[in-house]
Amino acid sequence: MQSGNFGSSFGQLLGGLFGNSGDPYKKGMEAYQPWMQKGINAQNPFYQAGTQALPQYQNWLGSMQNPSEFINNLMNQYQQSPQARYQIQQGNREGLNAASAGGLVGSTPFGQQMQQNAANISSQDMNNWLQNALGVNTQYGARLGGQIGVGQGAANQMSNIYGNLGNTAYGSAYGQQAGQNQDFSNVLGGLFGMFL
């Protein structure tokens, strides 16, 4: 065997025994992981907010499953507004003054007109209250839906980050194994080269 071949084979053997051809892949993976974690940490609050909104959203939807029950539950919370009470009081005063001037106090048409006026004011007040309550309820549902949408977006981003990590981890594991195979091949090649 020529000494040049022996030296080259011996170097190949030492490189195979003491080299670590897979180490760059391992180092690359280690460098990637903190950045991946920063990406996950940035998305996680939005993901958590969306996750926490899901049960509330489902309860909100469930509360309207029976529309009659939903409206009745709302209307059980209605209280006449101070403005409506004031309008009824003013209407009663004006009506009494007009009825007194015309001598109609105590008459059936006067009593009916007073009741009708109060009922109209109450009905309008109740309708305004219901529309406001339904508007707030709609806004609540829309906000929950938006929160879930933001959470879904964050979940998608996190899935992309994890997918990228998976691809990187695959490449790193493949490279490390290929490097180890190369090191083993160098050991065998060096040994055979030294003795042939």
Residue 65: both structure tokens together: 């499953």
Helix, strand, coil shares, percent, the chain, to 5 = 90, 0, 10
Decide: residue 186, CB within 10 A, 0-12 exposed, 13-18 middle, 19+ buried: buried
Decide: residue 22, CB within 10 A, 0-12 exposed, 13-18 middle, 19+ buried: buried
Distance of CA 19 to the CA centre of its chain: 48
Range of the domain at 137: 3-195
pLDDT of residue 114: 84
pLDDT per residue as tens, the chain (196 positions): 455 565 565 555 555 555 566 666 677 777 777 778 888 888 899 999 999 999 999 999 999 999 999 999 999 999 999 999 999 999 888 888 877 777 767 777 777 888 899 999 999 999 999 999 999 999 999 999 999 999 999 999 888 888 887 777 767 776 776 666 666 666 555 556 656 6
pLDDT of residue 1: 46
* Rama region for 106: left / alpha / beta (φ>0; ψ in -120 to 50; rest): left
Q: What is the dihedral of CA 105, 106, 107, 108, to 10 degrees?
A: 130
pLDDT of residue 171: 72
Please count the structural domains in the chain.
1
| pTM of the predicted structure, to 2 decimals | 0.63
Task: Count the Cβ atoms, other than its own, within 10 Å of residue 97.
Answer: 11
